[in-house]
Amino acid sequence: MATTADNGVQSLNSGSAIEDRQSLVSSVQSQIDVLTDLSKRLQTLRQFPGGLLRSEHASGANQVLQVPPSSTLKGTFSKSIEDLRTLHVAAMEERVQEALRAAVESERRDGTEIEDPQGQESQERRRSPSPESPKPFLVFQHKVASPFPPLVGTLPLTLQDLPTYIREFNATHAKKMLLHIYLASGHESRKVSVPVVLRFLIPDVLRMFITLGHEEGVDGTASETSALMVESLTVFGSREKASASRNRAPLHSPYFQKPPHSQSEFIVFQKLSQWIVRALQSSPRVHVQGFMDMLVAYESLFLEKCSLCQRFLSAEGYLPPVARVRREDGAWEPQHATCVQN
């Protein structure tokens, strides 16, 4: 029968096809091995410039009596140069070149159909700088589309409602945190006008100055009934003082603590300010209520570890998690700014 004969031929064909494929697979596998090995050697060598600056050489410089630092440095340098030379020779080998050609050909043929689950990650890793170099500014809007919670069932806060809001806020967070309107020294009138500066204190943790402005109307003007928008913020240590004066000024005196236009001397509060200001810049309109929701989460600034790397101090800069990233359920996760960006 014709059908049976056809089937016989087909199975014969598929038998040799399987053998062909198996030998193809093993040759592709060996090509992958060759390229992986080359990539590893290249990665090792790329650590070299940063490695020169690392502590092993710095501490080597202190042990001057035993080993002159210049010779240690020179030794490392010549070894790396030698490694680079042998890597170049290895890369020019025929089997490596053949594997590279096969990889290019393979990518050209079906690059669009293969989805590498780690592709994006490895691309990001390739772009990311070595730990020694300063971090470039990363636009993190991609990571956090809207860092602040939306207003649900509440109207945006207005200047008129601000005193009531502050009273309610302080009642809710009694003894844990304190919010009030900050009046600069020499401010005679008790009347509050925009821009309003709020002073937010979490005892033993931090103190923030929050500047509120008015949302502009359609015609570019603002009225008393316009919504208040968070414009900027600076963060200080809860007991950080502006002057070195030993005389304890009254708590409410603006001279007792840093004024809102200055900057904290502590890097953790500088980084915290930067993180929040960037979040503000990434959102066109930030209402007071949603913003305060995030600030409350900073009560754990010195208590909770990063939800991404599970460590308290960041690998870079040794800072606690200064970022608060909102989860779907509305909870705030402490994260290192460096972990969020990586």
User: Interface mask (CB under 5 A) for Zn ion, residues 6-45, using x and -?
Assistant: ----------------------------------------
CB nearer Zn ion, residue 206 or residue 339 = 339
Among 206, 306, 322, 337, binds Zn ion (CB under 5 A): 306
Q: How far is the CB of 337 from Zn ion (least distance, A)?
A: 9
Query: Is residue 339 within the footprint of Zn ion (CB under 5 A)?
Result: yes
| The one segment of 243-251, 275-283, 294-302, 305-313 that binds Zn ion by CB under 5 A | 305-313
Contact 340, 316 (CB under 8 A): no
Q: How far is the CB of 330 from Zn ion (least distance, A)?
A: 21
Strand partners, 212: 196, 230
CB nearer Zn ion, residue 296 or residue 339 = 339
Rounded Cα distance between 285 and 115, Å, is 38
Q: How far is the CB of 335 from Zn ion (least distance, A)?
A: 6
Q: How far is the CB of 236 from Zn ion (least distance, A)?
A: 23
CB nearer Zn ion, residue 84 or residue 308 = 308
Peptide bond into 69 cis (omega under 30): no
Strand partners, 320: none
Q: How far is the CB of 224 from Zn ion (least distance, A)?
A: 44
CB nearer Zn ion, residue 60 or residue 334 = 334
Q: Which of 144, 177, 174 is nearest to 276 (CA)?
A: 144
CB nearer Zn ion, residue 268 or residue 339 = 339
CB nearer Zn ion, residue 194 or residue 315 = 315
CB nearer Zn ion, residue 138 or residue 308 = 308
Q: How far apart are the first and last CA of the chain?
A: 65
| The one segment of 31-39, 249-257, 285-293, 300-308 that binds Zn ion by CB under 5 A | 300-308
CB nearer Zn ion, residue 260 or residue 334 = 334
Question: For Zn ion, which residue has the nearest CB?
Answer: 306
Of 171-200, binders to Zn ion (CB under 5 A) are none
Q: How far is the CB of 309 from Zn ion (least distance, A)?
A: 3
Q: How far is the CB of 230 from Zn ion (least distance, A)?
A: 26
| The one segment of 39-47, 73-81, 117-125, 302-310 that binds Zn ion by CB under 5 A | 302-310
Q: How far is the CB of 323 from Zn ion (least distance, A)?
A: 9
User: Interface mask (CB under 5 A) for Zn ion, residues 307-336, using x and -?
Assistant: -xx--------------------------x
Residues that bind Zn ion (CB under 5 A): 306, 308-309, 336, 339
